[in-house]
């Protein structure tokens, strides 16, 4: 796992120049490169920029503890503007504008990435209060906006969580970023996974009496979590930290990345934040805390995640999927028994429950159901069989559990049955080969084989030397110019000679070419008016240093006589667009190839956005510049020449995915609206390309459509990062149903549950 978030956060703040401001005046600004802070009057809290873990070029703005009594590596962040909004340039800034808005501005993209939307409230100043609350003031007295109303993952003492508002676990790239804490109008706190699975409820005596109350949750400075009737100012439910009423200066309540809600107290004697209460006592009972793995406790009493299903695979599966796959099993099935193991499906999380049955009947029902992947049988006085219809399964293993689980496996030779002793396997192998005289066979053939190989080797050497001489002569026709990055620089005449005067098209403005030494290449002609010569050469030199298996490697370029060409490694099967518009070629794009292509393109964009030395956009992603190699593997071209924000690439990716799934290449927006309408009305199967003849995975289709609709949201703030898209497509991150992508209303700054809406929220 990545380093602890707060260690990285504190490093971002540590060297900052601090100054206390009783009033933050209109026009005040914090700049990334200046490392300045706004500090509360008592010095306990500070507002400033910090880095995300492992992402040194991404900066967010937030509030954290700042007391001198807390070491710098323990100064926890308690609020982040826009939840995970980030900028990428040292000249980017956070400003209280003249019209009274807090704005986080990315200078490299020249766009605001978050703002408080308070320009109509006549704001006169701002203040970071001694309790850690950032407030905007009207006439220097009336609070018109406050950070306490827009919590992220943390509540500070006396900060209230109102009905219909929520906390969301910190969104680091991890399995836990889809946990949330909700306060419903029922008057109960609910911990949820993927917004629709509730795995913990607080109590509330008022619920039983069905009395309608105005309920709010609050953390007290004495170390108690209350659900309060805000009209009568009395608690209807409470939870107390183990140090309740002790003298503790700093406390907070946080929804952690592992899905548990915890109360923390600062212990000055030991210099640590100590958890003094947690909602779910048994961490393994937090829904999907291990993602698609199984949770158990080690000898030290700490929870750990493991994959019991990897014994059935020739290669360890990092996703830890249940081994059974309906289409691929030819030799029958078996059910492997696991004692003291409770399994449950997580995508979708809808186990079928059969009551009053036996364990043998439970196992047999799964064998007889082609969609069943595993079952769990429990009998604690009420016999119950829970059937899973998905390969995405989580669970809890402990000797105290009476549950028994059966996992369906395939009997094909590639599978390994852990119940068969290795000695027996070896014995069978020896028995099968007992009557073969292996030494005799080798002796009879070795001499002939050596003579044959020697003869063949002589022929190969002769042909190779002859070809080498011919290629050297041919190479003399090409210039030897290269730029400092090692890219070949061609003239227009050389491009024409290479492509036989653009005779063989393999895609839109893409031609087959032959380099010196008979190396095949793909030559792409760019629109010269889109980028001036100096920037074109600079961009070509930069992307020439990039290497990713799903980026077509740039071999060279031409920038001459008002024309622009890029010379890429050759892709035998042309572009995606060629396959979409040609029914015969489209048949090659099976469902598996289409989903693999989506994931490959997503990984390539993620690499460009977050794994290069600096942010690189594509700017013009479409089916025409995605090439397909010999095995139909995706290769992205034209990357690095467009100037746009990441969300533009995300939107283009969503449109490209919808084109791939539907097989329709139509005007902008038409496919998106039609597909969304079919999906929202429960007819998602109808959008899949008819040429596939219904040979597709329904669960995978749902996941792909959901993330596509998030990508094409009209409100760019709701679009996910490409890193999140990759996780969703891999199946390690779940995704909520999206709002309509083409009519997304801007949210009110006073409603935190709306203003922080994301692909992980309902």
Residue range 724-758, pLDDT digits in tens: 899 899 887 878 888 777 643 333 333 333 333 33
Residue partners of 79: CB distance under 8 A and separation at least 6: 62, 63, 132, 134, 147, 150, 151, 152, 154
| pTM (2 d.p.) | 0.59
Q: What CATH number should be reported for the domain whose range is 1-150?
A: 2.90.10.10
Q: Which fold has domain 583-742?
A: Transferase(Phosphotransferase); domain 1 (1.10.510)
Distance between CA atoms of residues 620 and 200, nearest Å: 45
Task: For residue 566, give the 3-state DSSP assignment.
Answer: strand
Q: How many CB atoms lie within 10 A of CB 355?
A: 8
Using DSSP's 3-state secondary structure scheme, residue 667 falls into coil
Where in the sequence of the chain do the CATH 3.30.200.20 domains occur? 488-569
Q: What residue spans in the chain does CATH classification 1.10.510.10 cover?
A: 583-742
Level-2 CATH architecture, domain 488-569: 2-Layer Sandwich (3.30)
The pLDDT of 636-660, averaged and rounded, is 89
Spatial separation of the C-alpha atoms in residues 205 and 240, rounded to whole Å: 17
Rounded Cα distance, 699 and 348, in Å: 8
Single out the residue of 472, 471, 526, 470 nearest to residue 495, CA to CA.
526
Residue 203: is it exposed, middle or buried by C-beta count within 10 angstroms (0-12/13-18/19+)? middle
Cβ atoms of 338 and 405 within 8 Å: the answer is: yes
CATH 3.50.4.10 domain range(s) in the chain? 294-422
Work out the number of other CB atoms within 10 angstroms of the CB of residue 418. 11
Is domain 294-422 classified as CATH 1.20.200.10? no
User: Residues near 458 by Cβ (< 8 Å), separated by ≥ 6?
Assistant: none
Of 25, 64, 66, residue with least CA distance to 44 = 66
pLDDT cut 70: percent of the chain above it = 78
Q: Which residue has the higher pLDDT, 15 or 749?
A: 15
| Closest C-alpha among 716, 538, 725 to residue 616 | 538
Q: Helix, strand, or coil here: 32?
A: helix
Q: What is the band of 471 on the pLDDT scale with cuts at 50, 70, 90?
A: very low
When mean pLDDT is compared over 170-174, 519-523, 527-531, 596-600, the highest value belongs to 596-600
Using CA atoms, how far residue 429 sits from 416, 417, 418, 419, 433, in Å, is: 14, 15, 17, 17, 7
**Exposure class string for 113-126: b at 16+ Cβ within 10 A, else e:** bbbbbbeebebbbb
Q: What is the mean pLDDT of the chain?
A: 81
Q: What average pLDDT score do residues 420-425 get?
A: 35
Asked whether 405 and 374 are in contact (CB, 8 A), the reply is: yes
Q: Where in the chain is the domain with CATH 2.90.10.10?
A: 1-150, 156-281
Pair of tokens at residue 520? 């095949």
Residue 680, phi then psi, degrees to nearest 5: -70, -25
Q: What is the DSSP letter of 170?
A: -
Q: Quick check: 179 and 191 in contact, CB under 8 A? A: yes
pLDDT over threshold 80, residue 601: yes
pLDDT tier at 447 (50, 70, 90 boundaries)? low
The CATH number assigned to the domain with range 156-281 reads 2.90.10.10
């Amino acid at each position: 796992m990545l380093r602890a978030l707060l260690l990285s956060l504190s490093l971002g703040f540590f060297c900052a120049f601090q100054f206390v401001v009783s009033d933050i005046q209109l026009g005040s600004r914090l700049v990334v490169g200046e490392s300045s802070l706004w500090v509360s009057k008592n010095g306990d809290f500070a507002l400033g920029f910090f880095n995300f873990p492992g992402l040194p070029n991404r900066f967010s703005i937030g509030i954290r503890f700042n007391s001198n009594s807390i070491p710098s590596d323990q100064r926890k962040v308690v609020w982040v503007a826009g939840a995970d909004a980030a900028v990428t340039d040292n000249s980017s800034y956070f400003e209280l504008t003249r019209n009274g808005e807090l704005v986080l501005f990315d200078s490299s993209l020249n766009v605001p990435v978050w703002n408080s939307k308070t320009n109509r409230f006549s704001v006169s100043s701002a203040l970071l209060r001694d309790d850690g609350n950032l407030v905007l003031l009207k006439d220097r007295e009336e609070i018109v906006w406050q950070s306490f109303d827009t919590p992220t993952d943390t509540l500070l003492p006396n900060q209230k969580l109102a009905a219909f508002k929520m906390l969301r676990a910190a969104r680091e790239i991890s399995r836990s970023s889809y946990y949330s804490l909700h306060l419903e109008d029922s008057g109960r706190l609910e911990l949820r996974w993927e917004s629709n699975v509730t795995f913990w409820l607080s109590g509330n005596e008022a619920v039983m009496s069905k009395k309608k109350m105005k309920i709010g949750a609050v953390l007290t400075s004495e170390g108690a979590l209350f659900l309060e009737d805000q009209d009568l100012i009395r608690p209807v439910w409470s939870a107390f930290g183990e140090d309740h009423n002790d003298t503790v200066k700093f406390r907070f309540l946080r929804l952690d990345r592992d899905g548990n809600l915890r109360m923390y107290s600062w212990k000055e004697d030991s210099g640590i934040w100590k958890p003094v209460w947690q909602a779910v006592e048994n961490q393994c009972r937090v829904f999907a805390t291990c993602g698609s793995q199984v949770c158990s406790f080690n000898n030290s009493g700490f929870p750990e995640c493991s994959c019991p299903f990897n014994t059935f695979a020739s290669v360890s599966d990092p996703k830890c999927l249940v081994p059974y796959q309906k289409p691929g099993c030819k030799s029958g099935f078996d059910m492997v028994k696991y004692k003291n193991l409770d399994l449950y499906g997580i995508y979708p999380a809808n186990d079928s429950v059969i009551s009053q049955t036996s364990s043998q009947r439970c196992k047999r029902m799964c064998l007889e159901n082609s969609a069943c992947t595993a079952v769990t049988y429990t009998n604690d006085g009420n016999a119950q069989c829970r059937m899973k219809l998905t390969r995405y399964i989580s669970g809890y293993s402990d000797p105290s559990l009476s549950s028994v689980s059966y996992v369906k496996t395939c009997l094909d030779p590639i599978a390994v049955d852990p119940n068969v002793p290795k000695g027996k396997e070896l014995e069978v192998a020896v028995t099968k080969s007992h009557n073969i005289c292996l030494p005799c066979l080798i002796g009879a053939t070795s001499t002939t084989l050596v003579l044959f190989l020697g003869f063949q080797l002589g022929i190969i050497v002769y042909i190779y030397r002859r070809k080498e001489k011919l290629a050297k002569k041919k190479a003399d026709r090409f210039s030897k110019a290269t730029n400092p990055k090692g890219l070949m620089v061609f003239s227009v005449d050389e491009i024409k000679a290479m492509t036989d005067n653009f005779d063989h098209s393999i895609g839109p403005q893409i031609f087959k070419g032959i380099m010196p030494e008979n190396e095949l290449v793909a030559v792409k002609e760019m629109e010269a008016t889109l980028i001036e010569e100096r920037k074109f050469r600079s961009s070509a030199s930069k992307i020439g240093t990039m290497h990713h298996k799903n980026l077509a490697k740039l071999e060279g370029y031409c920038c001459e006589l008002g024309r622009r060409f890029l010379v890429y490694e050759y892709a035998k099967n042309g572009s995606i667009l060629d396959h979409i518009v040609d029914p015969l070629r489209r048949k090659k794009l099976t469902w598996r190839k289409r989903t693999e292509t989506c994931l490959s393109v997503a990984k390539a964009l993620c690499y460009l956005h977050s794994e290069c030395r600096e942010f690189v956009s594509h700017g013009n992603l479409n089916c025409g510049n995605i090439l397909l190699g010999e095995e139909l593997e995706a290769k992205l071209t034209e990357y690095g020449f467009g100037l746009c924000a990441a969300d533009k690439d995300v939107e283009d990716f969503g449109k490209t995915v919808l084109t791939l799934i539907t097989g329709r290449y139509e005007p902008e927006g038409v496919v998106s609206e039609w597909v969304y309408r079919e999906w929202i009305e429960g007819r998602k199967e109808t959008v899949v390309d008819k040429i596939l003849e219904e040979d597709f995975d329904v669960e995978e289709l749902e996941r792909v459509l959901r993330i596509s609709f998030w990508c094409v949201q009209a409100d760019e703030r709701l679009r996910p990062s490409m890193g999140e898209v990759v996780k969703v497509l891999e199946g390690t991150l779940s995704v909520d149903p999206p709002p309509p992508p083409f009519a997304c209303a801007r949210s009110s700054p006073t409603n935190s549950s709306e203003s922080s809406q994301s692909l992980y929220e309902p």
